[in-house]
Structure 1
Amino acid sequence: MAQLITLDSLLAPGSAEATPAGGCASSACGSSAGPADLPPEVWEKVKDHPCYAEEAHHYFARMHVAVAPACNIQCHYCNRKYDCANESRPGVVSERLTPEQALRKVVAVASEVPQLSVLGIAGPGDAVYDWRHTKATFDQVREAIPDLRLCLSTNGLALPDHVDEIAAMGIDHVTITINMVDPEIGAKIYPWIFFNHQRLTGIEASRVLHERQMLGLDMLVARGVLVKVNSVMIPGINDEHLVEVNRVVTAKGAFLHNVMPLISDPAHGTHFGLTGQRGPSAAELKALQDKLQGGAKLMRHCRQCRADAVGLLGEDRGQEFTLDRLPEEVSYDPAQRSAYRAFVAETRGEHAAHREAAQEEVAAVEAPSVLVAVATKGGGRINQHFGHANEFLVFEVSSAGITFTGHRRVEKYCQGGWGEDATLDSVIAALEGVSCVLVAKIGDCPKQSLAEAGIEAVQDHAYDWIESGIAAWYAARHATAVRRIA
């Protein structure tokens, strides 16, 4: 979706690209809290982390390095693949790196991508089980680029053994994948675990995994480490149970809960994919997320990244930074990143003012809530051609406000300047339930097809802030319902 762009183009006044990279808005996308809503020490930890703060993912990028291939559990939804550039899902990488190779790659990316703020290790196995490689990588990167945030993802089985080291190293963001708090449900998800030099199966395996996950979560929270809990929504297995998972992890102090849809394409070779287990629809995922409101803050902008992802959420520039493409000598100059951060600090104020004005505008409209899709390639702007979109961001708008609800992935409609009818049909299917799609530009043919499907395509708000465009469209659509305010 989004394209990382240079600081010069970001600063160019009036440019269609003259906005910081990002692309989401409103209250339910990650933690929507700002500096006035959080303790200063917590705000400092999340303000530039694109996964932990909704606002941050407008502006900042993440990078994963694939240094931890070993894993200690088997999940029915996982099949790790190496040397695969065509699949975008967790556990997939094109290169497995040594810590030294990872450092070289991180320095090269930091020099080219001023938006980079976070280095994460998410496998392709388990970052904590493969602790030797994870620790060596973080130690070297911390010395070379001390201003990068460090975070890791884990299944939690080995986590309690390394919490003290994690805290001592300054790793203040940890993601734990917790799909159950009932071992009987866990036995349907995990065929085995490897613990204390033994392979355990069935309910016993799930019981041990659950106990270790809860212990690790408690230990991290006690040490002030922010914990994001990932849960994979598996219809018919744990979808209803995730309400209880949310209750438990919220009570234990998890900072964020990210409910992700199961990816179950048979081509990926996972057990669930090969046995016909379906993933949830977009409507089912939203309904569950809505049910969880009031518990831990929800992350709705997750893209289920590869273990070697580079760039903004919603994009992956990893193939630009494979080892064979890196310069022989790499060095890090922090000047460009410092200038970018100063620019972001200024831009955040402008965006916040427009967001607040948009919320006030829709509050004056008495009309039903609707879903609006937006084509964007960054910066929180409506700045992408309909046919160029790989995904659309979806917002719910009503008098209660404008809320980001998720994204809908699609196959790009325009291929070499031409559109394909079958592709357009799939895009329309992906936009089920959406009343309007806001774009920078759209052709007459797809616009008419969308209209026939009951979806209004609007390009009148091209390059506006997303919230401003949504508010203007909503108010115009319901002009007769605007309250008369003395």
Structure 2
Amino acid sequence: MSQQPFTISLDSLMTPIDFEAMKTAATSGGCSTSSCGSSAKPDDLDEATWDKIKDHPCYSEEAHHYFARMHVAVAPACNIQCNYCNRKYDCANESRPGVVSEKLTPDEARRKVITVANTVPQFSVLGIAGPGDACYDWKKSQATFAAIAREIPDVKLCISTNGLALPDRVDELANMNVDHVTITINMVDPEIGAKIYPWIYFNKKRYTGVEAATILHQRQMLGLEMLVARGILVKVNSVMIPGVNDEHLIEVNRWVKERGAFLHNVMPLISDPAHGTHFGLTGQRGPTAMELKALQDKLEGGAKLMRHCRQCRADAVGLLGDDRGQEFTLDQLPEAVVYDPSKRAAYREIVAEERGDHVRAKEKAIAAVKENAGDGHSILVAVATKGGGRINEHFGHAREFQVYEASTKGVAFVGHRRIDAYCMDGFGEDATLDATIAALEGVTHVLCAKVGDCPKDMLTAAGIEATDAYAYEYAETAISALYAATASDAGQTKAVA
């Protein structure tokens, strides 16, 4: 196994950082920060596109280990109704699009963004994702972006929209240097769309049924084409609704690829009756983790997939999977704020070193897995991590697992499984562990920094091997070693048979 990461590591990404110590650790050996930064660029991306996505946690799976996003809830008005959405429900511990604890004015958003930028050095992207539609509630979105661009000019600006009002805003978005836009597209067939959208409000008139879905579809395609023509990267979000649009999303993927979408993110329907949504109240179920993975696997070869989405709240702050929004409520913000760029600059300098090392380790691990893949077997491995791409979280403290697949194709991140933490105040909860085991459907191994004997035995009884033998390794490095061991076991089993 490789050595543990440098003393001031990315293991504590969201805690105060000793930047001088970090600099000393990063410059004590290895490649320079400039060469490491460029070494992470995939071969299939041009430099201009790489520069846009390299620090964007939603557009780059690799970047999401290191960089944080922030959503400001300045756009509450919406021009469509979705059967999976109810913006009136809020739970501070819930991660779901459209959910916010506080709505902000543009000036309140400015204070909040600067406070976060001074506190969270991983912050790289500011997004407006509602809680309504950012392109429909445009004046507030525009004013917020203008204020932040003046004070933090290097932050990336990102907007999410249902697409209905998007064509009217493309020119302004381009002029404001917004180079990332997410459009939620759940259908390209209005007959299916009518099952998802009860109504839309367009040109001062309410439309329903197939007519509403037809208008929405046409506007979404037009907006997508206009953005791509201006060089703006587009991520398409689609909600997978079993029995409604699950198989149809294959067609959606084809359409958005043909029109130049950069990423396609297929998300599971969240359908809890407590949320008060139409689908929740009528019993429409969401997909299982394995059903979602099966659909995503079918889409491979089409538009490039995003698999690391956390279906963030409209007021999310921090790394994906580690929302710190409740630390930055209005009552906790200072009245007067001045942006200090030093912490963010120091963090980026150190991360360049770690990312370069991670990329090289990942490439080596993938090559090793392909070399050991002669028998064609595959394994799903769940990793407990705080960030940095390393196995650095205690099993009992984990609130999600990142899931990787090792196969003849190498090692690939395929999704995440959200759970409740097993340990509360030092004690484990068997009921929580039962739910965790259910959430780990299809997973054969769990890798964590530490795991107790009791949960380890219960996982073993469920056919899941949990181990802390690879603590603080890069996930891909550990999975490569694990795959080699399982390949050897598989070969011995065949030989005995």
Report the TM-score, using the length of structure 1 for normalisation.
0.93
CA RMSD in angstroms comes to 2.0
Match of 2:18 in 1: 8
User: 305, 320, 326: which one pairs with 1:319?
Assistant: 326
How far apart are the structure 1 equivalents of 2:275 and 2:342?
Answer: 42
What's the CA shift string for 1:19-64, capped at 9, x where partnerless?
A: xxxxxxxxxxxxx982542111111111110000111111110000
Asked if the contact 1:2/1:312 (under 8 Å) is kept, the reply is no
Letter in structure 1 aligned against 2:408: S
Give the direction of change, closer, same or farther, for the CA distance of 1:415–1:302 in structure 2 (3 Å limit).
same
Match of 2:291 in 1: 284
How far apart are the structure 2 equivalents of 1:300 and 1:293?
Answer: 11
CA drift at 1:432: 1.3
Asked if the contact 2:384/2:402 (under 8 Å) is kept, the reply is yes
Asked if the contact 1:159/1:216 (under 8 Å) is kept, the reply is yes
**2:253 is equivalent to residue 246 of structure 1:** yes
CA drift at 1:388: 0.7
Match of 2:370 in 1: 363
**2:456 is equivalent to residue 447 of structure 1:** yes
CA drift at 1:328: 2.4
Match of 1:417 in 2: 426
Asked if the contact 1:82/1:94 (under 8 Å) is kept, the reply is no
Give the direction of change, closer, same or farther, for the CA distance of 1:13–1:219 in structure 2 (3 Å limit).
closer
User: 473, 476, 479: which one pairs with 2:482?
Assistant: 473
Match of 2:78 in 1: 71
Letter in structure 1 aligned against 2:439: A
What's the CA shift string for 1:128-184, capped at 9, x where partnerless?
A: 000000000000000010000000000000001111000010000000000000000
Letter in structure 2 aligned against 1:446: P
Asked if the contact 2:71/2:315 (under 8 Å) is kept, the reply is yes
Letter in structure 1 aligned against 2:447: L
CA drift at 1:467: 0.6
Asked if the contact 1:475/1:482 (under 8 Å) is kept, the reply is no
CA drift at 1:456: 0.6
Match of 2:381 in 1: 372
Match of 1:23 in 2: none
Unaligned 5+ runs, structure 1: 16-31
Percent identity of paired positions between Structure 1 and Structure 2: 70
Please give the residue correspondences for 1:265-344 in structure 2 after superposition, counting only pairs within 5 Å. Answer: 265-344=272-351
CA drift at 1:124: 0.2
How far apart are the structure 1 equivalents of 2:469 and 2:24?
Answer: 17
Asked if the contact 1:372/1:435 (under 8 Å) is kept, the reply is yes
What's the CA shift string for 1:436-479, capped at 9, x where partnerless?
A: 10111111111111111111111110011111111112212333
How far apart are the structure 2 equivalents of 1:321 and 1:186?
Answer: 37
User: 461, 477, 480: which one pairs with 2:470?
Assistant: 461
Asked if the contact 1:58/1:379 (under 8 Å) is kept, the reply is yes
How far apart are the structure 2 equivalents of 1:13 and 1:105?
Answer: 28
What's the CA shift string for 1:101-124, capped at 9, x where partnerless?
A: 100100000000111000000000
Letter in structure 1 aligned against 2:421: K
Asked if the contact 1:177/1:230 (under 8 Å) is kept, the reply is yes
CA drift at 1:84: 4.1
Residue 468 of structure 1 aligns to a residue whose secondary structure is helix
How far apart are the structure 1 equivalents of 2:339 and 2:433?
Answer: 44
Equivalenced residue count is 467
Please give the residue correspondences for 1:161-172 in structure 2 after superposition, counting only pairs within 5 Å. Answer: 161-172=168-179
Letter in structure 1 aligned against 2:127: G
Match of 2:189 in 1: 182
Letter in structure 2 aligned against 1:415: M
How far apart are the structure 1 equivalents of 2:486 and 2:244?
Answer: 41
Asked if the contact 1:33/1:53 (under 8 Å) is kept, the reply is no
Match of 2:125 in 1: 118
Match of 2:93 in 1: 86
Asked if the contact 2:72/2:314 (under 8 Å) is kept, the reply is yes
Letter in structure 1 aligned against 2:470: H
Residue 478 of structure 1 aligns to a residue whose secondary structure is helix
How far apart are the structure 2 equivalents of 1:376 and 1:322?
Answer: 26
How far apart are the structure 2 equivalents of 1:357 and 1:86?
Answer: 38
CA drift at 1:296: 1.1
Give the direction of change, closer, same or farther, for the CA distance of 1:6–1:246 in structure 2 (3 Å limit).
same
How far apart are the structure 1 equivalents of 2:306 and 2:214?
Answer: 27
How far apart are the structure 1 equivalents of 2:60 and 2:452?
Answer: 35
Match of 1:134 in 2: 141
How far apart are the structure 1 equivalents of 2:291 and 2:77?
Answer: 33
Asked if the contact 1:128/1:158 (under 8 Å) is kept, the reply is yes
User: 210, 221, 234: which one pairs with 2:228?
Assistant: 221
**2:115 is equivalent to residue 108 of structure 1:** yes
Between 3-12 and 270-279, the greater mean CA deviation after superposition: 3-12
Asked if the contact 1:90/1:307 (under 8 Å) is kept, the reply is yes
Residue 389 of structure 2 aligns to a residue whose secondary structure is coil
Report the TM-score, using the length of structure 2 for normalisation.
0.91
Unaligned 5+ runs, structure 2: 1-10, 26-38, 493-497
Residue 393 of structure 1 aligns to a residue whose secondary structure is strand
User: 127, 150, 156: which one pairs with 1:149?
Assistant: 156
CA drift at 1:10: 10
**2:355 is equivalent to residue 348 of structure 1:** yes
How far apart are the structure 1 equivalents of 2:17 and 2:411?
Answer: 29
How far apart are the structure 1 equivalents of 2:292 and 2:93?
Answer: 25
Letter in structure 2 aligned against 1:208: I
How far apart are the structure 2 equivalents of 1:385 and 1:122?
Answer: 32
Residue 363 of structure 1 aligns to a residue whose secondary structure is helix
Match of 1:385 in 2: 394
What's the CA shift string for 1:73-107, capped at 9, x where partnerless?
A: 00000000366423321111111100001001000
CA drift at 1:269: 0.6
User: 175, 192, 196: which one pairs with 2:199?
Assistant: 192
Asked if the contact 2:40/2:356 (under 8 Å) is kept, the reply is no
Letter in structure 1 aligned against 2:423: C
Asked if the contact 2:200/2:206 (under 8 Å) is kept, the reply is yes
CA drift at 1:343: 0.9
How far apart are the structure 2 equivalents of 1:286 and 1:403?
Answer: 12
Residue 157 of structure 1 aligns to a residue whose secondary structure is coil
